[in-house]
């Protein structure tokens, strides 16, 4: 039922501004009553957040591990590419206090954090906690996702975004610097 309601919201967002969409519209599209909606979600923002969560994690290959991380990320990027129009619309129309950008960034951080919780090499640079490195690498993923959504900087497809992520996360700042010895 949650997926049905989320799909209805996704569909409605292709034709209407998010702020104009009401709970009634979502319920009518799904064919349920208001009480059913409120059994699953607090409000339409909660429903939108569920769409993002589902897209980021629901399309993965299961439990995240270092063998599956690239697969999980690519699956996530493929879903975003497939729903690019929805993401573009959500990005530009859901702004302000509960903005889509904030929701997406937060969910990406949770996505990365979940990986590091179970697959962090504890002995490597322990002075940096999981929250900090999750925040750092999630912002990299967020950058790639945003470029994919808006087809910017040559990132046209999920594959392009995946290659960019691989290249930037497997190389350091110094690799790109002319004067690495300054550090």
Partner 1 sequence: MLKTLLIFFGLSLDGFIVMMQKGATVRDLSEKNKIIYSLVYMAVNLITLAVGYGLAVTFDGVLPDGTAQIAIASMLIMAAGIYIAVKSFLNRPFIEKLDSNFNIYTLIPLAFFTNIKTMIVGIGFALLGVSLKSVILPAAAVTFLMSYTALSFGYSHGAAEQRLIGIAGGTLMVILSAYTLFKVILAAV
Positions in the binding site for partner 1 (CB under 8 A): 19, 22-24, 34-35, 38-39, 41-45
Whichever of 23 and 110 has its CB closer to partner 1, that residue is 23
**C-beta of 108: minimal distance to partner 1 in Å?**
24
Whichever of 49 and 134 has its CB closer to partner 1, that residue is 49
Q: What is the C-alpha separation between 14 and 18, in angstroms, rounded?
A: 9
Whichever of 38 and 136 has its CB closer to partner 1, that residue is 38
**C-beta of 14: minimal distance to partner 1 in Å?**
20
Which of 166, 101, 173 is CA-nearest to residue 109?
101
Whichever of 21 and 138 has its CB closer to partner 1, that residue is 21
**C-beta of 23: minimal distance to partner 1 in Å?**
5
**C-beta of 109: minimal distance to partner 1 in Å?**
24
């Amino acid at each position: 039922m949650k997926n049905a309601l989320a799909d209805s919201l996704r569909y409605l967002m292709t034709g209407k501004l998010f702020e104009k969409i009401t709970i009634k519209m979502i319920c009518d599209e799904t064919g349920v009553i208001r009480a059913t909606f409120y059994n699953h979600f607090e409000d339409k923002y909660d429903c939108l957040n569920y769409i993002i969560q589902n897209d980021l994690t629901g399309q993965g290959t299961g439990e995240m591990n270092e063998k599956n991380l690239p697969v999980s990320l690519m699956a996530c990027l493929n879903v975003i590419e497939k729903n690019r129009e929805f993401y573009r619309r959500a990005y530009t129309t859901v702004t302000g206090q509960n903005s889509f950008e904030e929701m997406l960034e937060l969910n990406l951080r949770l996505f990365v954090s979940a990986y590091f919780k179970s697959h962090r090499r504890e002995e490597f640079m322990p002075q940096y906690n999981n929250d900090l490195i999750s925040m750092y690498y999630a912002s990299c993923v967020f950058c790639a996702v945003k470029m994919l959504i808006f087809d910017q900087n040559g990132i046209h497809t999920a594959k392009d975004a995946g290659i960019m992520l691989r290249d930037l996360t497997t190389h350091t700042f110094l690799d790109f610097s002319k004067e690495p010895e300054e550090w």
